[in-house]
Each structure stands twice: as structure tokens, then as C-alpha cells.
A and B are shown apart, each in its own frame.
Chain A
């Protein structure tokens, strides 16, 4: 093979490929939202409430308006006249853009200034005088429904409490019956505390209303540009064909950049009012205090089993803290997201969960930080409670899992709460992880160390994810069905472009989606351009979150690419004067069956398709195709994780010595990128298990509002990750791929927590809530762990 051919061969299809997008990032030439600079652009800043719950008595903006470079000051009163003070949330509630009557969480938006430069905008905030009448705050979710709790949402007609919804799944009666007859029942309260996705780039937008053309262009680092465009049209009454949303490069999303934040709406209003582009980019405090948090599930889990360790059923009651507005981003029919996949990776016939959502005086959100719509909560619960069961029975937690894991012959598997898991060989994956870890040797080492008084722990987590939302008849966000479009176009000279509905925030779509088209069409990756992020030139879709890009958009691209190849085959037949049925396809080349020397490459076909070749009846010219992919099901990536920790008995400090992760995400488009995704999620697990939390004091002050308070892991807290893989393709996905973006964040916290609990076995500690800081571990060892969602008080 010639060097050129070898090079081309090397860049076709799946495999380890360095990324195209790196070329600009490495040179500092990325275009992130704060890099966007438009002529005449002004800068906006938001004034936020220092109180968690307070009536607004008055707002005096006169001094701010008098500032020499301030161009506009906007309050809730002005927005009210535009009917924009409140906008629909993603969960059929309403969210305040600027507070009108009351503020309902610390950090809530109260006023907006627009000035000539960013420093002046911040200065102007200090010139606004707000008179508040402070009210008692609801901070403890477990007290939100107390009869004397202050009512937060008195803006809702007739609302007299802080209750949002009740939701359940599974068979309560059958589950209760199983529990009644079980030998062993273990009950455990498990908190998944409030945490935050905290991408390094904060949220922001540049809004530009062109009065002449009537076109509103919104640059925004959103993970879902098309959904935003449609929502702006619905909410602001602007014609949708006159709205353009452009997602530039995004410095991390992790579910933080899905919804429409008040700041974006304010930037739009600011642009309309001033006639100039208005940029608003939040600072870190605003990001942590007001944008979508994650988790905050108070769970009571109960597991029933036989004495010899066969799981019989699972029951969970959840109190879900949604903050001041219900603004969780998840499919409409699922107010608790996909939490009811909590039955996990195990085989048992019955389960039931009930979720109660409540308001508190905290920022709204809940579905974020790689949760796959609450799968993080579900997996954490089941993996913790299975470990508690192992503790109760005195059996090895890996052995208990192996005994109960779903078997390959059970797939596709219908879970007790209605999920159809597509494929899996779970025992193989667990065995692979145990082999990679040297599990038996680790247990032997643990025995020795324990004898010396050293606290070594080994924790296992086996997770099943459910991602790739989703079938449009079941899954929509605010009525927009979760099916995504894709377009593939081959140019006359044989290069191609693929236009996506999804939006990368670091997942490498410019590389991987080119590889998908390449794999299917045989065109080298280097010859394929990926276009994404601009609603003016990409097909509609619901964006990137919930690990849905590969399962949904990747499928759409694969199908569209296949349609291109199917059409190319017909045209090749015309070129070769043969029936398409007599042609063979070999990665980019059609040849006559039995005579490979008579062939046409897809590049040659493309040129002919744009030329004057006579095409068969019914076949149009050019070489392009599109697809709107409605997934038949979700996909179910899974994995087995093992964490090894050493706990300092004198200080309570936890060190993660090793972390072994064996993931199965089906077909791997680019193994290098898959591994990178996993590495990142594993670090999240360490962060959440050991140090991350957004807690509140009794006045509702947010105690996690900076990176000094909200602790994220550095390179020193993370071990060198040890990765393995098994590959069990999804039977329903065109490429057999399942997606992997959130798997590691979903599966890892339980592995770390299980490891620490394992280390503390000599202290008879069954469960302690995250984050397991040294203080919490020490207190647990001394029998007095503390609540982590509230301020530490004693």
C-alpha cells in the first residue's frame, strides 16, 4: 500500500484518532462566549438578592441610571410590562426572570444593568438600592412540608404549602408482599447532597437584536441551541425564523448549560432596549449560587433478600429538594427523571419507588452534573443499599453482586419499573474489573492491614445507565419530542459535511461524528467537516445532555450516511452500467462482484452525481441525505468500578489509592475519546464522594458559593485511572454504540463511598452521607456523623 493510501486508510472510520478541534484550542484560538465581541457591544450585570427569602419593599435605581456609562437599568416592574418577568420553566412551573414581589433564594436575580464596559456594569450594581423585608427561610427539605413552614410560592394561585408533586413507579402491593415474606430487610437513609456541575467556563450570552432586519441573534454557550430558539419564540412571542441561536465553543457543560437562565433573557431585553448587542457572562459566585444545581435527593431505601443473599425486592421513598422553582430539565412525563431505573443491575421481580418534590428557598434545578436525568441518584441508592445488605449478611460485596447480576440470557430485560435494558453481559464485566484490580489479592492485603490497625477499604459499584433520550412518543421536553435530525452532504469533489443537532462541550464531536460518517461512507475523516451549534445551519434536535449525542444524533448521522451510500450505490451502478445488486461495497469503493478492478470510489460517484450522468428513474442528483432519528429505545451502557482507599485513622483523611473502571458502552467510535470521557467522570466521583457539597445555613445563606467553598478535586486527589473494557453492542443502535459521557460520573461516587465504608468496618459504621471529608469520617468513626446538606453546627 502506498504511503498516501496508508494515510487515508488510517483516517477512515472508527479508531484512535487525534482530535480536529485541538488545532484551535491548543493555540488559544477557541471561541468561547466571552471571546465574542460585536461592534458596539455593551455589557450587562445582574444584581442579586443577598437574602434567601424576603419581600421586595422598594428598588431605587436612580443612582445607577445616573452613572455616566450606564445605558439601561431593568427591573422586574419593567419586565412585567413586557410580560417577561416570569417565564415557563422546563417542568411546567414558572421561573422569575427578575423578582417582582419576593426573592425566593439567595442569589436570585433582582435587577439588570447595561453599561459600556464590564467594570462599569459591576460598579453600577453597587448603586442600586433595594429595600428588603426579610422572611424566614425554608432550608431543611425535611421540614418543607411542616404545617408552619413559610409558603414560598405564594405567586401560584391558591398555593398554601411547599409541595410540588408526588410520583411513583413500580408495583407497591407486590413489593410490599415480597418484603413481608423476606428473611432479611435492610433499611437505610441515604442522602445525595446538593452538588454543582461547575464547568470552568460560566454561563453567558450575547444578544443582538437587529432592529432593521428584525433578526435576533443570541450567542450562548447552551448545550441545546435549537430548543432555546423554539422556547424564545414561544416565551417572547418572537417569530422563530427570526431567531438565531449560536453555540460557540463551550468550556464544559455537564448539564449546567441546558436551560434558559434569566441572564440570557435579560441580555435579549437589554439589546432590545438599547439597540445594541448586550453581553452577559456570569461570575463564579453567580454560577454556583443560581444556576442549575444537581441531586439533593433524600432517599430512604429498603432492600429485601433471602438469608443466602438473593435480592427479592427494593423499595425507595425520596424527598426531592427542587429549590424555589421547579426547573428540572427532564422529559415531561418524568418529574423524577429516570430515577425509577433504581432497580439497577440486578435480577429481582418487584420494586417500587415514590418521589415527593418540595420547594425550598434555594436555587432551582436538580437535573444536571451528568446525572442522565437522575440516574446518578438511582445508581447511588441501589449500589449503597446492596452494600448495606452485604454488610448485614456478612458477605463479600462483589460476591453478592455476582450472585444477583442480570444474566446475559435475560436480555433484552424488562425491569420491574418498565425499562427495557438492551444488552449486557454483566458478570463478564464484573469479572474483568475484579481481575484488573487483583481483587482477591486486595482482600488479602486488607486482612493484613486490618490486623495492624490500618484502615484500607475496597468498594465496588456496578451501574446500569439509561441514556439516549428518547423515543418521541414517550419523551419530550416542553412538548418538543426528543428525536434529532442530521444531514450529510457529499460535495462534488468527494469531501463531505455533516450537520448535527447536538452540541459539543468538549466531547470531541468534530472528530467523532466525522468518524461515524467515515465509517459508513469510507470517506476519510479528514475530508469530513462537522457543523454544529448554529441553528441557522443545522437540523433541529434537543441538544447534548443525558449522554444522548451518540445514541440519538450518532444514529441519525449513521442512518443519513447509510442513505448516502445507498444512493451512491445506485449512481455507481449507472456509472458502471451494472445493476446495483451486482455491486460490492468495500469501505468507500463499489466494485463489480467478481471483478474488483472495475470499480468506482464514492468520490467519483459524488462528482458524477453533480455532473451530467444520466440518473435512473426517481433518483435525484447530488449526493446527500438526511434523517430524523426517533430512537426505538434508550441505550444501556454499564460498568463495574472498584475503588481502593486508605483512611488515616488518626485524622479521618481519605486517600484514593487506586480506581479500576471497566466500562461497556457498546461500539467505541474513538477509544481515546471514550477513555477521556471516563477519566473525567471518575474524577467527579472522587469530588462528590469526598469534598463537594452545596450546603446552607439556617438563614438560607449558600455555603458553596465560590471555589474556595465548593471544593473540586485536583490532580493530587485523583489516582492514575486504570481502565478496562468489554464491548456488548446495542442491538437497536445502527452502530451498536450506547454513549458513555456520563457513565463514570454515575457509577463512581458509590464505589468511593462503598470503599470508605468498607475501610471503616472495624468501627461498625454502615453508612455515612457524602461528602466524606476527613471531619465527617472522623465523626463517623466516633459515632456522630453530621448532616451534610446543612451548615455544620457542632
Chain B
């Protein structure tokens, strides 16, 4: 098996400790949480940090709770725990549907929400789902905390706005009652990255779409959301015609790359198809029609 190059290792005892360690060691230090994005890269020689700061002891970041109209998820929550959380499933079914298709059950026992978001792989499903929900990221550094909309977290593939000595501590999702949501993914095989994924959340005001979020993974949609599509259908009737418009706009808004998962024209068409499907399901769930 391939193995990582040598590095130093430290265990953070608290968030502040982690920040201090990052500041002390600078650009050559990386946080390791679940490790299932970073360690494979290190084994393949694609990343070689000189210091790993293990944050798995930061149990104060593993809570999931509702506070007022915010669903708060600690950054160290494992994918498996997000999937198992009844609170999460009650609020936004799409998060469970997304989690179920992220990696595989064993990897989900280790991978964390924070790790996935900060790794910023353009095919990362949770970024798309949370993006659709307009989640916010709480980031802490030595100068304090700031809140970054998830839609502004990633600046490109594997790049975020996080400074070298900052740590994502929490994800906050606004709760508005009456939502219907859905997430779907097409993959070559269970556990693979998406060929394309789409997630939608809607709120209805009568027959009108009062608010909508559409997330797209793996197809080059900026910040993994279809913002122009959202704008195009907000305020429209929740009907077949609107769903078709959404599909067309989403396909136009994404910029998929041709690779071994498929050619760009297929991914584009797929984006449209999946957007239609999740929007249809989200609307039905909003109306209490679909299980």
C-alpha cells in the first residue's frame, strides 16, 4: 500500500488549542478530522503537510441541536451521526437523502461535516445540500468568530476562504416550517463521487413557490448551487411548467467537465433531469403528498 511522507503530529485539546497549533506551525500544518479526504491524498503524494493537528478530541463540536429557528450542527459531527439524527431528518429530509449517498457507511463513521465542507471537493454532496438550505458556517480564529455563508465558503476546487489558522466550528441552518426537500444522485456505483447530484428545498405560499434552494454537486455549478435557477422560479406556480423551466435553467447554469464519469453533454442533461425530479418531489412533500 502507498504510505504518507513523514510528518509531525499533535492532538488539539480544545478549539483554541487547535487554533494556537495552527498559528504556531503555519501553512505546513493541516487539521485532520475524519481523515478520509486528507489521508488518501497524503498516501498518493498529492498532499504532504509537515504537521497534522488531530481534532478528534473536540467533542464539544459533535452536537446537533435546535436553538430557536436554527438547526445547529457541530463541525465534528460524523456523516453517520447526521444520517442517524432524527432532529435533522425531521427538519430537512434532503440532508438524510444526501448523507445516504455520501461515500459508504464505514467511511461515514469517520468523515465529518466540517471536514467535507472544508475539503471543498467540487463533487461533494453535503456542500450542495447545505448550499441549497443557505446554511452558514461559523469560523473561529485567534481574532474571534465570523460567520460565512456556505455559498461563499468555497472559492474553487479544494479552496476555501478559511485562513491558515482558522477552524470551522459549526454549521447553522435556518429553519422555516413548511419546507419540502429532496436530494438525488447518479453515480457509477454505490459509494462513488456523483456523475451529477441535485437537491431542492421549497416553501409554498398557496400554489406559489415562495422560497427555493437548489444545490448541484459535481457539475461545476458555482458554489454548488443553482442561484440563477432559484431566482427564475421563485414566485412562480409550483407546477410542471415551472419544473421544466428549472430543469432548463439548471442545465444552462452548470458547467460540467467531461471525464471518465461521463461527457459534458450528458452531465448537463442529467443536471436538468435531476433538478426536475428533486423539485417535483420537494413540492409534493411540501404539500404533504409524498412519503
Contacts and interface: CB of A to CB of B under 8 A. Distances in A.
A774 B262 contact: yes
Interface in B180-201: 186, 188-193, 195
Interface in B254-276: 258-267, 269-270, 273-274
A792 B259 contact: yes
Interface string A100-129: 000000000000000000110011001000
A775 B273 CA distance: 13
Contacts of B193: 708
Contacts of B265: 794
Interface string B155-199: 000000000000000000000000000000010111111010000
B99 to A, nearest CB: 16
B195 A774 contact: yes
A778 B191 contact: no
Contacts of B274: 651
Interface stretch (B1-9, B113-121, B209-217): B1-9
Contacts of B258: 792-794
A695 B270 contact: no
A711 B189 contact: yes
A786 B263 contact: yes
A779 B2 contact: no
Contacts of A650: 273, 277
B186 A691 contact: no
Contact of A709 (B1, B45, B260, B264): B260
A792 B186 contact: no
Contacts of A711: 188-189, 192
Contact of B273 (A123, A651, A717): A651
Contacts of A436: none
A31 to B, nearest CB: 19
B3 A773 contact: no
A793 B258 CA distance: 6
Contacts of A774: 186, 188, 195, 262, 266, 270
Contact of B186 (A284, A653, A709, A794): A653
Contact of A695 (B5, B191, B195, B260): B260
A713 B189 CA distance: 7
Interface string B240-264: 0000000000000000001111111
A652 B269 CA distance: 11
A589 to B, nearest CB: 53
Contact of A792 (B2, B5, B104, B260): B260
Given A651-B270, A786-B263, A118 B192 contact: no
A236 interface: no
Interface string A170-187: 000000000000000000
Contacts of A773: 188, 261-262
A774 B273 CA distance: 13
A285 interface: yes
A138 to B, nearest CB: 21
Contacts of A283: 1-2
B2 A122 contact: yes
A714 interface: yes
B27 to A, nearest CB: 21
B188 A792 contact: no
B188 A118 contact: no
Given A651-B186, A653-B186, A717-B190, A775 B3 contact: no
B266 A779 contact: yes
A118 B270 CA distance: 45
A727 interface: no
A238 interface: no
A703 interface: yes
A711 B193 CA distance: 11
A369 to B, nearest CB: 18
Given A122-B2, A779-B263, A792-B259, A716 B190 contact: yes
Contacts of A793: 258, 263
A791 interface: yes
A300 to B, nearest CB: 25
B2 A285 contact: yes
Contacts of B192: 708, 711
A284 B40 CA distance: 13
A791 B259 CA distance: 8
A691 B156 CA distance: 29
Contacts of B264: 794
B126 to A, nearest CB: 19
A792 B262 contact: yes
Contacts of B188: 691, 711, 773-774
Nearest to B269: A778
Contacts of A786: 263
Nearest to A693: B260
A775 B269 contact: no
A651 B261 CA distance: 13
Contacts of B263: 775, 779, 786, 792-794
A619 to B, nearest CB: 57
Contact of B261 (A695, A775, A778): A775
Contacts of A123: 5-6
A792 B258 CA distance: 7
A774 B2 CA distance: 31
Contacts of A717: 189-190
A691 B260 CA distance: 11
B107 to A, nearest CB: 12
A284 B263 CA distance: 27
B86 to A, nearest CB: 24
Contacts of A709: 260
A691 B273 contact: no
A580 B91 CA distance: 85
Interface string B100-128: 00001000000000000000000000000
B38 to A, nearest CB: 15
A434 B242 CA distance: 46
Interface in A448-482: none
Contacts of A695: 260
Interface string A769-782: 00001110011000
Q: Which of B192, B266, B270, B277 gathers the greatest number of chain A CB atoms within 10 Å?
A: B266
Nearest to A776: B262
Contacts of B6: 123
Contact of A122 (B3, B262, B266, B269): B3
A781 to B, nearest CB: 10
A285 B46 CA distance: 15
B103 to A, nearest CB: 11
Contacts of A792: 258-260, 262-263
A775 B266 CA distance: 6
Interface string A71-105: 00000000000000000000000000000000000
A650 B270 CA distance: 8
A323 to B, nearest CB: 20
Given A711-B188, A714-B190, A714-B191, A775 B5 contact: no
B189 A691 contact: yes
Given A119-B3, A123-B6, A778-B270, 15 more contacts: A652-B266, A691-B188, A695-B260, A712-B189, A713-B189, A714-B189, A773-B188, A773-B261, A773-B262, A774-B262, A775-B195, A775-B261, A778-B262, A778-B269, A793-B263
29 contacts: A118-B3, A283-B1, A284-B1, A650-B277, A651-B186, A651-B273, A652-B266, A695-B260, A708-B193, A709-B260, A711-B189, A713-B189, A714-B104, A714-B189, A716-B190, A773-B188, A773-B261, A774-B186, A774-B188, A774-B195, A774-B266, A774-B270, A775-B261, A775-B267, A778-B262, A778-B269, A786-B263, A794-B258, A794-B264
Interface of B: 1-3, 5-6, 45, 104, 186, 188-193, 195, 258-267, 269-270, 273-274, 277
Q: Which 10 pairs show the lowest CB-CB distances between chains A and B?
A: A775-B262, A716-B190, A650-B273, A711-B189, A775-B266, A714-B190, A651-B186, A283-B1, A778-B266, A283-B2
Interface of A: 118-119, 122-123, 126, 283-285, 650-653, 691, 695, 703, 708-709, 711-714, 716-717, 773-775, 778-779, 786, 791-794
